Amino acid sequence: MHLKYHFNKKLVFLVSLAFLLIFIEIFNVAQFVFINSYSKDIEYNENGNEGNYREFNNGLNTASQDLKGRALSVTQHATISNTFFPFSLPTNVSFTLLEEWTSKNVTISYDEVSHKTDWIINGTFDDGESPWEYFGTDPTKIIHKPWQPENLEMMVEKNQVLSSGAYGYFEENITIIEPSSTNAIATLSMDYLYSLAGGTELPNMFAFVSINIGGISKNTSVSFIDLVEESWTRMSINYDINLAGQVLPENATIRAGIYVINDLNTGPKEHYLSIDNIQFAVWTKPNKPNLIIANDIEFDQDYSYENITFGKGATFINVERSRAENSEVEFTISKNPVYTEDISVYNITIVSESFKKFNSTQNGAESSTYATGSQINWQTVCSFTIPYGYTSNWAEIVKPSDWNVTSLLDGYNSEKIGSCTGYDLGSEKLTIPKGVLNPGLWTLQAISQNYILEGSVNVYNGTAYENKSRITFGDTFKINATIDNSISYQSTFMNCSIEFPNGSLYYQASKELNSNDIEFGSFIIDKNMPVGSYNVILLWTNNLSYLYRDKVGYFQFNFNIWHHTNLTPVESYIERVSGEPLLIRVNFTDYDLNTYVDFATVTYNSTLGMSGTMVYFGSGIYVADIDTSGVEIGEYYFSFNASKSFYENQTKLNLIQLNIIEQPLVLEFSSRVINAFGNSHAICRVTIKGEISNTPVPPANVSTDWDNGYSVFDYGNGTYSLNFSTNALPIGGVIEAFEIEVFANKTNFGEVSDFITLIIQPIHTLANANSTNIVTYINENFEVKVNYTVEGSGELISGGLCTVTWESTYEITNVADGIIITYHTTNLNIDVYNSLIRITKPGYEDALVSITAVINEQETNMSVLVNDIDIAQNSLVELYFRESVNLTARVFAVQEETYLTGGLLSILSNNYQKVFTESHPTYFSLIINIDGKNFSSGLNSIFLRYEKQNYTTFIFTFQFFIRAQNVILDVKINDQSILENTLIEAYYKESMNISCKAFAEIEEIYLSGGVVKLILASNEIIVPEVTDFWYNKTFSISADLFSLGINYAYLKFDLENYTTTTFSIQFYITEQTISLEVEIDGNSTPENSLIEKSFKENISISCRAFAETEAIYLPGGTLKLFIGINQFNISETANYWYNRTIGISSNFFSTGINYAYLKFELTNYTTTTYSFQFYIREQIVSLEVEIDGEYIPENFLIEKSFNNLISVSCRAFAEVETIYLTGGNLQLFIGADHFNILETVS
């Protein structure tokens, strides 16, 4: 019989398991069909118009979707510059103005302006002698004759002895106020009229004119023997005053007259010397306006020359012009005809400040894009091109003031934002400075305020809507949003989208705002809204058209829908014999929809010690297979927990009872629950049966575990009456249930026991409190009075025992009309507490009363000082990087009216967090260093959070506005300190040393670790750090780095958390001065020397050019010799010498004085000339004469008779060429007759 029983149970279990597996497979298929059918999008538009805002709503399913905004206006500025070296005036200068560019103005700068001016006062003597004065060693011998109109006259007395050094001259003192030009050629000249009247020529007396400048004299003189008589003749000298060492401006002394070099006798006749037209004309740098006229060819408008200083000036043309296509802007530069003197300009520089306007683009269109999130991220691209010749480029980008530009990447993907200005909040114009802007596509990234301040789900609670994030079945809710009221919302729209948990659209609508608060819909959670997390997206822009859109609000949040559940057993009581198969089952259902909950997590534990996770069987059924092998006889209980996201969690204790039984006895009670009153008795009948026969088996031994007295009466038929005493019960004063175990045994039947419940009811009572809901503060006491009475009659019961459950201390006081309980709140937390008051007395029902006490935190307040300055909530404190900040705070307890000690006060900002220390009682302090690791440039939100048990947590908010620390540069050039914008003069090839220190203004220290660059027009030089915080670099003035004239440069210092600092310098680079060493025919020849030569002789000229700054001889130059209108190239040979030999011929020379000069040219060196004179004599010819075939010497006496023939033969010998000459004209003179002698042969 037992084998059959176990076999049948096992068969049932296997069949059940098979059905379970089949059901799971079917359920999986059903679930797949259900889930896929549910993924269909649900579309809804509150306005019933799906197409109005398609662009506005497009792409709202992700927070990082790029959307279009307006383009930014960009202005690129550049300097256009050209330099010209005119040979003469007039000349044209110009620059190229490109398409789409606009020239704002034009500046024409003139460098090395010079004019040739005669500085002599009354050198023509038209108005008398003044300011000339006469000086002489002996006025009776060299006599000053009275003034004659238009000249001065001197006479040398006849028959006078003049000693060496005697003189008589006229003198004038002048001041030359202008500096000399670079090519300062001067001409000192005088016209003279000499008359001897047949007297003796005087070779040791000279007529002269001289000039002395700064102690250095130059003169020209002619011996009386060489003076041209009876004709006005000019004597002059040309020389370079710079090479002569005469430095202007300076005082000058001019003298003109006579001097004697050796003792002489003046002879029998007077010598008369008249002088006129004394001139000293020199090229100098003028300092006066209107010398030059610049004609704007385009508008035919003349502009005048404005003087700046000696030799420098400029013309300013404040005219704006633009071009539809590339073309030249041209000006004609000419001398002002008002001035008669010669004017020259070494170089002319034309400069135009120009600009080009365009809009930024994104993806090829004039626009920007923005990405939504907790803040709005913008991006747009600026395309910069830098045309050839357009320098000093910089740019301005007009941006919304609420954009904070966080990144500006150039075309090489290099970050440039740190080098720019105006990128932060409040600024409407971002500037990319000179030296930073380079060509390419620049990407601008910015962040702006999110103008939607808040979005929420509000659920109707029966009287009003309240903010919630979890909603359940049947709830009614709305979506609310708030936009920043600092901006205008007029004629703007907000879009709201609600997405199902699977991402499909549940709701979408756009509304025009009529206030800064807006709400969408009134939705009811029904069966069409499954459980899960719903995504809400709110989007607002300030314009529907992207062309004007630059402000965006975005808010995204979630709310959850959950359902109520129920967990029930399929079988709550199970009996098994140990080892028998056991399958326990529970049903987990959705209470709201009356459907099952699938694939939840259902776990169990049991008094067997077994636990685990149940398997989903389908239709909400979860099963677990329990192994009962080895389980002892007895009762066991299973408890369960069922959970699934978005469903109510269920925990059921002892939900299923398992009874492991054994044969052969069973107890059968007339009732398992017996009711009785106290101080009485209770009767229960029990029948003892066999398990298999199910029939009574008398007699048996029956007993219980009741310890208050009982009796057993045997009816003799297997039924027994049990009589239990209830005397003095219940002890607790409340209805008590007693579990009584009944034991039975019988020989050969074993033993069995079972339980009955005895419920004893006391006299009914009531307990009433004067207050059951108390609101108080921590550390405060409160009292409650309680009365203990008989129910119905209201009779006061005295002598009862009162007990109180309370988490702190309390006091109980019995009074005549009740009980007073004093509650203490010491050491409690801020919470809601329940106190249970129980009053008991034997024979009476326990009376209970519950008290609810709400314990509130004590309110707190905080005062804060930053660097000893009191600040208010939300204050803005301006600081610099590297600055040390002292924070002090005190916390005040409002109810206690005292400042607090202890607790935790911390500072929070971004990822930075630090705890204050209590330096003195009630004073909390903290010193922080503003560094780039923990703080960022610009606004930093600061939170001071104070926490202490039993006190409200207080948060004090304010902001640090952090700027980069200013840096001051100390700069030295060649160890000499200089001011900013100092003009440094240097020669080409000169060595230059630059040093600088960077001083931090706030820290008051010199900085190390920075990057220092010397930025030039088209190059830059790294200035490395050396020692003692100095940055030092020595470099050479080379053509790679500098151009002649003014070079604008600046030092740039970069170091993180410090301002990028520049220091402007101007280098005025001049050509290096050259001196020439000249040898003629192997002899060193001073400048202005007179070299005497004869026709047909050769002249050997050698020259070397010495660079005075570099102290080297120069190769590679161009050397030319100029003789009159002729010029000769002189080639470089060896050892830096330039050599050439020239034959003296009538093609190039004339007899007498021939003025010549050498001209040496080499880039970046001064063009240098070297003057001298050739005095060319006719070649001496000697005649060889034969008379009648015989050679005769000169002055030979030849005797002949009348009527004799004379044969005359002659050859002419050139002594220099050492040849006999042909082609000459030979004549024989005899008395008054002459005869032509013809050339024959040889």
Give me the pLDDT at residue 28, please: 40
Q: What is the 3-state secondary structure (H, E, C) of 667-688?
A: EEECCCEEEEECCCEEEEEEEE
Only one residue has tokens 């108080």, namely: 776
Q: What percent of the chain has pLDDT over 90?
A: 58
Q: Read off the pLDDT of residues 796-833 as tens digits, 9 standing for 90 and up.
A: 888 888 999 999 999 999 988 889 999 998 888 888 89
- Assign a CATH topology to domain 765-856: Immunoglobulin-like (2.60.40)
One fold for 39-70+450-562 and 117-282: no
Q: Read off the pLDDT of residues 480-499 as tens digits, 9 standing for 90 and up.
A: 999 998 888 888 999 999 99
Peptide bond preceding 131 in cis form (omega within 30 of 0): yes
Least confident range from 129-143, 222-236, 1209-1223: namely 1209-1223
Is the predicted pLDDT of residue 529 greater than 90, yes or no? Answer: yes
Domain boundaries along the sequence of the chain: 2-37+564-660, 39-70+450-562, 83-115+287-353, 117-282, 376-448, 665-761, 765-856, 860-963, 967-1070, 1074-1177, 1181-1237
Could you tell me if 895 and 858 are in contact, meaning their C-beta atoms sit under 8 angstroms apart?
yes
Q: Which CATH architecture has domain 665-761?
A: Sandwich (2.60)
- Assign a CATH topology to domain 860-963: Immunoglobulin-like (2.60.40)
**CA distance readout (Å), 774 to 420, 656, 770, 854:** 64, 42, 11, 6
DSSP strand pairing (750-761 vs 673-677): parallel
Q: What is the DSSP string of 64-120?
A: T-EEEEPPPEEEEEEEEEEEE--SSSSEEEEEEEPTT-EEEEEEEEEEEEEEEEE--
Which among 1094, 1093, 1077 is positioned nearest to 1085, based on CA atoms? 1077
Give me the pLDDT at residue 693, please: 55
Q: Read off the pLDDT of residues 289-345 as tens digits, 9 standing for 90 and up.
A: 999 999 999 999 999 999 999 999 999 999 999 988 999 999 999 999 999 889 999
Q: Cβ–Cβ contacts within 10 Å for residue 422, how many?
A: 16
CA-based radius of gyration for the chain: 61
Give the pLDDT band (50/70/90) at residue 534.
very high
User: Using alpha carbons only, what angle is made at residue 721 by residues 720 and 723, rounded to the nearest 5 degrees?
Assistant: 145
Pick the CATH number of 1074-1177 from 3.50.50.60, 2.40.37.20, 2.60.40.10, 3.40.50.10440: 2.60.40.10
* Class of domain 967-1070 (CATH, top level): mainly beta
Q: Tokens at residue 1025, please?
A: 């750090």
Distance CA 1073, CA 279 (A): 28
Give me the pLDDT at residue 965, please: 81
Q: Read off the pLDDT of residues 359-394 as tens digits, 9 standing for 90 and up.
A: 999 998 999 999 988 899 999 999 999 999 899 999
User: Using alpha carbons only, what angle is made at residue 964 by residues 962 and 969, rounded to the nearest 5 degrees?
Assistant: 155
Q: Tokens at residue 511, please?
A: 């509304």
Could you tell me if 702 and 720 are in contact, meaning their C-beta atoms sit under 8 angstroms apart?
yes
Pick the CATH number of 39-70+450-562 from 3.40.50.720, 3.40.50.2300, 2.60.40.1930, 1.10.600.10: 2.60.40.1930
Peptide bond preceding 146 in cis form (omega within 30 of 0): no
Distance CA 437, CA 385 (A): 10
Question: How many secondary structure helices (H) and strands (E) does the chain include?
Answer: 3, 101
Is the predicted pLDDT of residue 232 greater than 90, yes or no? Answer: yes
Least confident range from 181-195, 544-558, 662-676: namely 662-676
Give the pLDDT band (50/70/90) at residue 894.
confident
Q: Read off the pLDDT of residues 10-58 as tens digits, 9 standing for 90 and up.
A: 444 444 444 444 444 433 433 333 333 333 332 333 333 333 333 333 3
Give me the pLDDT at residue 51, please: 32
Is the predicted pLDDT of residue 964 greater than 50, yes or no? Answer: yes
Q: Read off the pLDDT of residues 645-697 as tens digits, 9 standing for 90 and up.
A: 999 999 999 999 998 876 577 888 988 899 987 767 899 999 987 675 577 77
* Coil, helix or strand at residue 25: helix
Pick the CATH number of 83-115+287-353 from 2.60.120, 3.90.79, 1.10.287, 2.40.50: 2.60.120
Q: Cβ–Cβ contacts within 10 Å for residue 653, how many?
A: 10
Q: Cβ–Cβ contacts within 10 Å for residue 387, how many?
A: 17
Give me the pLDDT at residue 748, please: 56
Bridge partners of 106, per DSSP, are: 317, 352
Question: Rounded to 5 degrees, what are φ and ψ at 628?
Answer: -95, 5
pTM of the predicted protein model? 0.46
Q: Which CATH architecture has domain 117-282?
A: Sandwich (2.60)
Give the pLDDT band (50/70/90) at residue 198.
low
Could you tell me if 186 and 239 are in contact, meaning their C-beta atoms sit under 8 angstroms apart?
yes
Longest Cα separation, the chain? 224
Q: What is the DSSP string of 807-819?
A: SS-EEEEEETTEE
Is the predicted pLDDT of residue 1220 greater than 80, yes or no? Answer: yes
Mean pLDDT, all residues of the chain: 87
Tell me whether residue 1092 is exposed, middle or buried, using C-beta atoms within 10 angstroms of its C-beta: 0 to 12, 13 to 18, 19 or more: exposed
Which among 136, 138, 134 is positioned nearest to 125, based on CA atoms? 134
CATH of domain 2-37+564-660: 2.60.40.10
